[in-house]
């Protein structure tokens, strides 16, 4: 709190007491963070002089919500914490009054100068310089005097633009620097720059939706076709790609700030239903190759309803949405020249070809908004997500190789907002409960057919790849998070030219991870040896006297920040922020390495002369602590060249800390309580042994539970241990940006442009690497500098190490040029171009770095998930006949593909671009007609055509540099093919 004391000299002692009391009080209910609230500020004049005795009142025209503040001695006022919407502003001074309407967007700060007594009124909101501009819809307002690299997504865009799925995050890819990923399986994720989807955070009504246990950024978005929130309940949102302010936490990539809809003084409702099916889409390449077409369906429907309970005081809003999908899949054998497809067993071949994957989701949202009086607002909201899914992946699998997923998310938010003349206090209390459960679709033993190279030097088979996998998979998991949080945010505007924000947050969240993988044994066969006798088996067993694969952690999180936005003059605005976060993870900090394992590690000769100090990974329960260095300065500026908000230079720098996922932190505890997998190598049919630790003669009894028990009891097994560094840090990113915003007038039309350069460097990402070493302590085979010692497990098991080590470097050029849609013009256009140079010191989009001893060996490789060039443009036009037309065009350059080049004497990591100018090209079009059935009821019909040109956007290629088909595409594509979708709706 020292920084607050230093600034307190400039604030009256009584006001500071109120501020700190409001900030730190733990006795009041909670409110959403101010990240979604709007602010209207400016000057009030009376007969050309600053009004020193005046009052400004904002009344929401839809809900009656009222806010009133006194004007300062210099004529300034600040209305903070306003829900996005349209307001009637009333100013009263010296017995005179005036009023006018303005619209503000989510998280926006609009400047509106007011006058009475014959003084001309001026308004500025972003680039708006007159009241006609301010009266446009919220989406048209562009906040120019901010240091953030941010873009707004309006409700008009959400409602009008063509869309394959009702995931509101899909519209974020119209923002420079953002990519909304929907892979060939339909799984959706949002990412920015070189970092993964894990590093974003979504704030809905100011409540962070961060996932602490599973990947995907928000709970439920790991390997899911589901939506995180009902789209019909989202009003609008903005996307901040870098240089966010200190109030944003648990993030190192992009922030999505969304506001939900609320009930109004009018009863309003809406119903929608849309559908597409197999007969409404073009065939996939796999279906053309196979000569059949898989049954498929995508159906979405829902209803929303809101209105008053007490006029101007109490309102409700509820929404329900459902999705029922049956998505086509492409199952195919591995394309590899080292085997003959005729040698693949017929029963495996029969299981490949076109298939489908069913999915069902139900989402609910409810909200009560109570304006108790002009100073108090109380809201209670609930969101519930329930989904069931059969995951069947594209690629080298048979139709029975699938998993059943049960995915549930529940959140509850209680908010209380109290406003005064110079300050606003927001508090909220939340509870969340999410669970993700995975099980194989069928039982029994898994069958994995492989191909490999025989190394004549060491007698081992290497470069092993799966030709096809059949039967049950190895996954068996139950993971989730639940707990409550308290947050309080205070805004103080009583210091001339300064807006101070400060806040605290406490969260207690229970993390659960149950991993009992390999309960269904996995057997590996080599097509060059035998398709009947396996060369390896992997299976799991609970260790007696332990939790048996269950890990829990009662985490506590604490955050505090202070932010000062200083309007130095009409040209220069400075932003100074400082944030600190702290989190305890008892499962990691209090873990004690079992004595037997610690002794084995210290005595294992292969580690004696290696680059590994085992003491760094042996915990006694007292030599670990929570990370204490998460200080995060965030600085920004904007300079209005002419003082009219038409040409503004902006920039900033800051640091932001994220979180280590519990799915990684729990692996240490999990692998000592559940052996997964026990790994046994069998002598090949030619008498060779693939494992340096020895092999067991094959016996069919090992296909049974009793036979596997014999292996465990005899000690003829190898298991896997995860070991975590005792000095684990938290991943973070440093962000730097510089840009310029402009407003250009072309006749009566104003276009907005923005050009920015950004550099983001992330560090201390969690890396997972192999701890195996050869007898002399080396990682590589003598005379080589590539190839992990997979076959050199320790006698007591394979070692996997977790350390900080992953880094990314992203340099971006971000360009946007748009004309916002307005009712007056009836059209709008957006364009976004991104040039991205993204690199990371690993070869995959995750934590694994197994091919080399640690990340430093990789150098920096391209991030294969991010194209170098990306262009997205959208358009909306109210055409003749009452039909609204819209379109979206997405163009990407070919993405780099990273893999191991084995074409020379020594393998190494390499990358290439497939042939062709565009790696992704997709044109989507939509048309909607609305009929007014009566004064209160309207009917909607809409047609979408997705991927109009039916362009195949290939998802996988032959990455084998030694193959004659190197660089050629496989059959799997990113969906959709050309698809027609029909929608109906009723509004009342």
Domain 31-140 adopts which CATH fold?
A: Immunoglobulin-like (2.60.40)
User: What pLDDT is recorded for position 43?
Assistant: 83
C-alpha span between 124 and 44 (Å, rounded): 14
- CB distance 371 to 312 below 8 Å: yes
C-alpha span between 329 and 888 (Å, rounded): 26
Using pLDDT thresholds of 50, 70 and 90, give the confidence band for residue 117.
low
User: What pLDDT is recorded for position 863?
Assistant: 94
For 610-643, what is each residue's pLDDT tens digit? 999 999 999 999 999 999 999 999 999 999 999 8
C-alpha span between 72 and 423 (Å, rounded): 13
Length of the chain equals: 988
- CB distance 199 to 250 below 8 Å: no
User: What pLDDT is recorded for position 497?
Assistant: 87
For 841-865, what is each residue's pLDDT tens digit? 998 887 788 888 988 888 999 999 9
User: What pLDDT is recorded for position 474?
Assistant: 94
- Residue from 724, 847, 721, 718 nearest 791 by CA: 718
In the chain, what percentage of residues exceed pLDDT 70?
94
C-alpha span between 424 and 416 (Å, rounded): 11
Whole-angstrom Cα Rg for the chain: 30
- Least confident stretch, 175-184, 256-265, 275-284, 429-438: 175-184
Architecture category of domain 268-435+449-468+477-987 in CATH: Beta Barrel (2.40)
User: What pLDDT is recorded for position 54?
Assistant: 85
Q: Is 173 helix (H, G, I), strand (E, B) or coil?
A: helix
β-strands 297-310, 268-277 pairing: antiparallel
User: What pLDDT is recorded for position 791?
Assistant: 86
What DSSP string describes 82-144?
EPSEEEEEEEEETTEEEEEEEEE-TT-EEEEEEEESSPPPEEEBBTB-SHHHHTS-GGG-B--
Using pLDDT thresholds of 50, 70 and 90, give the confidence band for residue 142.
low
For 193-225, what is each residue's pLDDT tens digit? 999 999 999 999 988 999 999 999 998 888 788
C-alpha span between 500 and 278 (Å, rounded): 56
pLDDT at 14 over 60: no
For 785-828, what is each residue's pLDDT tens digit? 888 898 899 989 999 999 999 999 999 999 999 999 988 899 99
For 249-297, what is each residue's pLDDT tens digit? 999 999 999 999 999 999 999 999 999 998 999 999 988 988 888 888 8
pLDDT at 560 over 60: yes
pLDDT at 736 over 50: yes
Q: Whole-prediction pTM value? A: 0.88
Which one is predicted more confidently, 693 or 976? 976
C-alpha span between 591 and 766 (Å, rounded): 18
User: What pLDDT is recorded for position 75?
Assistant: 82
pLDDT at 479 over 90: yes
Domain ranges of the chain: 31-140, 268-435+449-468+477-987
β-strands 938-946, 827-840 pairing: unpaired
For 656-713, what is each residue's pLDDT tens digit? 999 999 999 999 999 999 998 999 999 999 888 988 888 999 999 999 999 999 999 9
- Least confident stretch, 22-31, 90-99, 695-704: 22-31
Distances (CA, A) of 797 to 518, 592, 770, 772, 794: 16, 18, 12, 9, 5
Identical topology for domains 31-140 and 268-435+449-468+477-987: no
C-alpha span between 753 and 208 (Å, rounded): 30
C-alpha span between 242 and 108 (Å, rounded): 16
Q: Is 596 helix (H, G, I), strand (E, B) or coil?
A: helix
C-alpha span between 573 and 577 (Å, rounded): 13
CA dihedral over 667, 671, 676, 681, signed as positive or negative:
positive
C-alpha span between 765 and 659 (Å, rounded): 9
User: Residues 736-755: what's their mean pLDDT?
Assistant: 93
CB within 8 Å of 338: residues ≥ 6 apart: 451, 452, 453
C-alpha span between 888 and 886 (Å, rounded): 7
User: What pLDDT is recorded for position 12?
Assistant: 36
- Residue from 118, 128, 81 nearest 98 by CA: 118
Place of tokens 């000299």: 9
CB within 8 Å of 900: residues ≥ 6 apart: 463, 786, 851, 907, 908, 909, 910, 961
User: What pLDDT is recorded for position 184?
Assistant: 65
Which one is predicted more confidently, 936 or 81? 936
């Amino acid at each position: 709190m020292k920084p607050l004391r230093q600034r307190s000299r400039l604030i009256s002692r009584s006001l500071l007491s109120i501020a700190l009391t409001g900030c730190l009080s733990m006795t009041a209910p909670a409110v959403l963070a101010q990240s979604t609230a709007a602010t209207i500020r400016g000057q009030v004049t009376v007969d050309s002089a600053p009004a020193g005795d005046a009052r400004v009142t904002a009344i929401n025209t839809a809900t009656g919500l009222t806010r009133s503040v006194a004007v300062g001695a210099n004529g300034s006022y600040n209305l903070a914490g306003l829900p996005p919407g349209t307001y009637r502003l009333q100013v009263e001074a010296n017995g005179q009054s005036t009023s006018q309407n303005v619209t503000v967007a989510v998280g926006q700060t609009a400047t509106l100068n007011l006058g009475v007594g014959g003084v001309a009124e001026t308004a500025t909101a972003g680039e708006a310089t007159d009241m006609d501009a301010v009266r446009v819809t919220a989406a048209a307002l562009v906040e120019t005097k901010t240091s953030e690299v941010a873009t707004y997504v309006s409700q008009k865009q959400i409602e009008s633009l063509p869309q394959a799925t009702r995931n509101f995050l899909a519209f974020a890819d119209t923002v420079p620097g953002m990519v909304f990923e929907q892979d060939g399986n339909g799984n959706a994720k949002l990412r920015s720059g070189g970092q993964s989807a894990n590093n974003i955070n979504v704030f809905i009504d100011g409540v962070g939706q961060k996932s602490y246990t599973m990947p995907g950024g928000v709970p439920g978005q790991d390997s899911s076709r589901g939506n995180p929130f009902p789209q019909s309940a989202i009003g609008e949102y903005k996307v901040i790609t870098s240089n966010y302010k200190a109030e944003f936490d648990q993030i190192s990539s992009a922030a999505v700030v969304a506001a939900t809809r609320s009930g109004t003084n009018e009863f309003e409702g809406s119903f929608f239903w849309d559908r597409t099916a197999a007969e409404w889409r073009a065939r996939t390449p796999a279906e053309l190759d196979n000569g059949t077409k898989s049954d498929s369906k995508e159906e979405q429907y829902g209803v929303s309803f809101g209105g008053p309970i007490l006029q101007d005081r109490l309102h409700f809003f509820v929404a329900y949405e459902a999705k029922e999908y049956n998505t086509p899949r492409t199952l195919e054998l591995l394309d590899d020249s080292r085997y003959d497809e005729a040698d693949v067993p017929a029963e495996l071949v029969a299981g490949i070809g076109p298939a489908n994957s069913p999915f069902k989701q139900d989402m609910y949202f409810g909200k009560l908004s109570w304006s108790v009086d002009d100073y108090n607002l109380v809201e209670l909201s609930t969101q519930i997500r329930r989904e069931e899914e059969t995951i069947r992946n594209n690629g080298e699998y048979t139709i029975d190789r699938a998993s059943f997923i049960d995915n549930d998310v529940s959140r509850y938010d209680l908010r209380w907002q109290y406003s005064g003349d110079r300050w606003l206090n927001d508090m909220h209390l939340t509870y969340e409960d999410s669970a993700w459960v995975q099980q194989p679709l069928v039982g029994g033993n898994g069958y994995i057919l492989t191909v490999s190279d025989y190394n004549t030097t060491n007698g081992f088979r290497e470069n092993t790849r799966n030709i096809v996998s059949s039967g049950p998979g190895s996954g068996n998991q139950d993971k989730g998070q639940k707990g409550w949080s308290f947050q309080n945010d205070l805004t103080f505007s009583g210091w001339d030219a300064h807006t101070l924000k400060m806040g605290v947050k406490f969260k207690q969240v229970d993390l659960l991870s149950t991993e009992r993988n390999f309960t269904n044994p996995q057997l590996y066969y080599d097509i060059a040896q035998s398709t009947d006798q396996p060369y390896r088996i992997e299976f799991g067993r609970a260790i007696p006297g332990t939790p048996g694969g269950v890990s829990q952690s009662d985490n506590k999180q604490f955050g505090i920040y202070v932010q000062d936005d200083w309007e130095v003059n009409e040209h220069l605005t400075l932003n100074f922020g400082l944030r600190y976060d702290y989190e305890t993870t008892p499962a990691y900090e209090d873990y004690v390495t079992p004595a037997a394992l610690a002794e084995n590690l210290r005595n294992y000769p292969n580690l004696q002369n290696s680059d590994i100090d085992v003491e760094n990974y042996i915990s006694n329960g007292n030599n670990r602590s929570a990370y204490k260095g998460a200080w995060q300065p965030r600085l920004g500026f904007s300079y209005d060249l002419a003082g009219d908000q038409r040409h503004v230079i902006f920039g900033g720098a800051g640091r932001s800390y994220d979180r280590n996922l519990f799915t990684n932190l729990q692996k240490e505890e999990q692998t000592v309580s559940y052996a997964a997998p026990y790994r046994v190598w069998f002598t090949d049919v030619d008498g060779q042994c693939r494992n340096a630790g020895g092999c067991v003669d094959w016996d069919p009894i090992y296909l049974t539970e009793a036979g596997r028990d014999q292996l465990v009891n005899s000690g003829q097994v190898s298991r896997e241990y995860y070991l975590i560094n005792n000095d684990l840090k938290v991943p973070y990113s440093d962000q730097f940006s510089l840009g310029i915003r402009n407003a250009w007038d072309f006749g009566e039309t104003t276009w907005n442009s923005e050009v920015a350069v950004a550099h983001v460097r992330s560090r201390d990402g969690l890396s997972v690497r192999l701890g195996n070493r050869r007898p002399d302590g080396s990682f590589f085979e003598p005379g080589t500098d590539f190839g992990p010692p997979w076959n050199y497990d320790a006698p007591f098991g394979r070692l996997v190490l977790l350390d900080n080590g992953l880094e990314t470097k992203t340099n971006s050029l971000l360009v946007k040029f748009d004309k916002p849609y307005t009712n007056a013009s009836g059209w709008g256009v957006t364009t976004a171009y991104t040039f991205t140079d993204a690199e990371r010191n690993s070869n995959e989009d995750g934590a694994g770095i197994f091919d080399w001893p640690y990340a430093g060996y990789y150098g920096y490789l391209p991030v294969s998930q991010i194209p170098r060039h990306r262009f997205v443009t959208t358009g909306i036009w109210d055409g003749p006949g009452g039909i609204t037309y819209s379109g979206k065009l997405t163009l990407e350059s070919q993405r780099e593909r990273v893999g191991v080049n084995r074409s020379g004497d020594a393998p190494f990591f390499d990358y290439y671009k497939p042939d062709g100018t565009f790696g992704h090209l997709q044109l989507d079009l939509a048309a909607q007609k609305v009929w007014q059935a009566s004064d209160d009821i309207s009917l909607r019909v809409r047609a979408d055509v997705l991927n109009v040109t039916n362009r195949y956007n290939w998802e996988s290629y032959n990455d084998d540099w030694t193959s004659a088909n190197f660089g050629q595409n496989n059959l799997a594509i990113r969906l959709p093919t050309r698809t027609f979708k029909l929608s109906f709706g009723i509004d009342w």
